[in-house]
């Protein structure tokens, strides 16, 4: 754990690009991505499949195979560039200082071992403690994530838990070493809606109790609406919009973010029906010229298929990559998008 106080910078991603060399050519999975995560914050990274949101975090965890992956930029964890660490050094950070919760808890737990044993083994992997102490720590963690009757349930196998309870076990697993950064990759996708809300509440609670920073990766803006302090919207491997969640939900600037908001079922809106984003994301082998969203954007105009738009900084500090003039965006938001969503 760092000595840094609440709000200190934990993770700083600077100009990260990830390319996969494949037989069919180079896949530009992530381009020029930058963001910061501070202790006590939740950063929601939102985008469709193939937007680069998971790949960028696998890079942070050191889980990309460097023999066919080119990574440039920096990923600074408490000031150290993890991209420059050797495998052995990275292994010490992974799971200990930076931990990850995956989408499918059943696939991540061994079906043949009791959950308490799996948690205790995770404790023993990084700490020099007795087996009894590791078992007690496993029980404590199960209690911390809200598993009732934790001491008895520690002796159960994964199949004896419901989907939501298994995800709680996975969260306990991620918390074994009091991580500074918790990365949750689509943690609620496999769960039904009521359980989703409980798991999101739990992640928010453990962030406060364990005093860490959370990266919440999702395709659904609704998932980050309640808990994220900042939101990063990605499309085709690129950042489209990035800023405080409050600014994004009450004054989004990018047409792709508008599309995500309009297709979100959980926001109180005046629309009778949800509006899907027409078309599908582009191939990352042959990305479109100019703005990657231009083939699907209903507001595209003359410059959009030429040069790639840079990230423009707004007076409130939030960033967006769109050529529409600020007054046009304001007009569209006030009269149309925000009005339809009931948030102007």
Binding residues for ligand SF4, rule: CB under 6 A, are 254-255, 291, 293-294, 297, 299-300, 304, 309, 322-324
In the complex, least distance from residue 149 CB atom to ligand SF4, rounded to whole angstroms: 52
Provide the CA 275 distance to its chain's centre, in angstroms: 24
Cβ-proximal residues to 139 (8 Å cutoff; 6+ apart), any chain: 116, 150, 151, 154
In the complex, least distance from residue 304 CB atom to ligand SF4, rounded to whole angstroms: 3
In the complex, least distance from residue 289 CB atom to ligand SF4, rounded to whole angstroms: 11
- Output the six-digit token pair for 339: 């009005």
- Output the six-digit token pair for 100: 């990850």
Cβ distance to ligand SF4 smaller for residue 113 or 299: 299
Cβ distance to ligand SF4 smaller for residue 157 or 299: 299
Cβ distance to ligand SF4 smaller for residue 191 or 291: 291
Could you give the C-alpha distances from 341 to 158, 164, 229, in angstroms and in order? Answer: 41, 31, 20
Which residue matches tokens 């962030």? 207
Cβ-proximal residues to 107 (8 Å cutoff; 6+ apart), any chain: none
Cβ distance to ligand SF4 smaller for residue 94 or 294: 294
Q: Which H/E stretch holds residue 299?
A: none
SS3 128: coil
Cβ distance to ligand SF4 smaller for residue 128 or 302: 302
In the complex, least distance from residue 321 CB atom to ligand SF4, rounded to whole angstroms: 7
Tell me the β-bridge partners of 19: 28, 70
In the complex, least distance from residue 27 CB atom to ligand SF4, rounded to whole angstroms: 21
């Amino acid at each position: 754990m760092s000595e840094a106080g609440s709000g200190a910078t934990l993770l700083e991603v600077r100009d990260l690009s990830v390319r996969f060399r494949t037989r069919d050519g180079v896949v530009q999975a992530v381009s020029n991505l930058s963001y910061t995560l501070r202790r006590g914050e939740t950063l929601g990274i939102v985008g469709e499949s193939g937007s680069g949101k998971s790949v960028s975090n696998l890079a942070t965890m050191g889980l990309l195979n460097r023999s066919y992956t080119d990574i440039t930029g920096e990923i600074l964890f408490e000031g150290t560039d993890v991209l420059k660490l050797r495998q052995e050094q990275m292994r010490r950070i992974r799971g200990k200082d930076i931990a990850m919760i995956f989408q499918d808890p059943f696939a991540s737990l061994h079906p043949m071992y009791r959950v308490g044993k799996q948690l205790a083994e995770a404790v023993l992997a990084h700490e020099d403690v007795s087996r009894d102490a590791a078992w007690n720590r496993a029980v404590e963690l199960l209690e911390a994530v809200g598993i009732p009757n934790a001491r008895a349930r520690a002796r159960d196998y994964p199949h004896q838990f419901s989907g939501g309870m298994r995800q709680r076990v996975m969260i306990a697993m991620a918390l074994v070493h009091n991580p500074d950064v918790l990365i949750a990759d689509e943690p609620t996708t496999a769960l039904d809606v009521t359980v989703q809300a409980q798991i999101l509440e739990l992640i928010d609670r453990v962030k406060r109790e364990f005093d860490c920073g959370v990266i919440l990766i999702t395709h659904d803006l609704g998932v980050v609406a309640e808990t994220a302090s900042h939101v990063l919207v990605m499309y085709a491997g690129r950042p489209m919009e990035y800023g405080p969640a409050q600014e994004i939900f009450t004054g989004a600037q990018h047409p792709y973010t508008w599309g995500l908001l309009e297709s979100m079922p959980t926001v109180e809106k005046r629309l009778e029906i949800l509006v899907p984003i027409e078309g599908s994301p582009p191939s990352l082998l042959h990305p479109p010229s100019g703005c990657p969203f231009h083939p699907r954007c209903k507001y595209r105009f003359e410059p959009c298929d030429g040069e790639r738009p840079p990230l423009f900084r707004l007076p409130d500090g939030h960033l967006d990559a769109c050529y529409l003039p600020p007054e046009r965006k304001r007009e569209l938001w006030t009269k149309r998008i925000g009005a339809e969503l009931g948030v102007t």
